[in-house]
Amino acid sequence: MPNTTVPNLYTLTVVDLSGIQDYVFGSNRLAENVGASALVEQATHQWPLKLVEKMARGRARRAAGRSDLHRRRQRRDPL
């Protein structure tokens, strides 16, 4: 008998950076703190949203704070 179940069409990704403060504030030098903060911003906001838009052309949501949540609808055909 063929499989008639509907595949899950959504992917949920959660990024939690609650332990990143030691990295961001591990130096007394302002330039290093700014650089670390910029990397965290890119990794949690810019890069995931660009990836979701590029791959799925779907909806993406961003949560403020240390945790981000991204949801996108998958295409039926794999990349």
Segments making up each domain of the chain, as ranges: 10-73
Q: How far is CA 78 from CA 9, 17, 26, 74, 75, in A?
A: 12, 29, 41, 9, 7
The whole-number pLDDT of residue 31 equals 75
Q: Distance between CA 15 and CA 67 in Å, rounded? A: 6
- Output phi, psi for 23, to 5 deg: -70, -45
Query: Comparing C-alpha atoms, which of 53, 14, 51, 20 is closest to residue 37?
Result: 20
One digit per residue, the tens of pLDDT, for the chain of length 79 reads 555 665 656 666 666 766 776 766 777 777 777 777 788 888 877 887 787 777 666 555 555 554 454 555 555 555 5
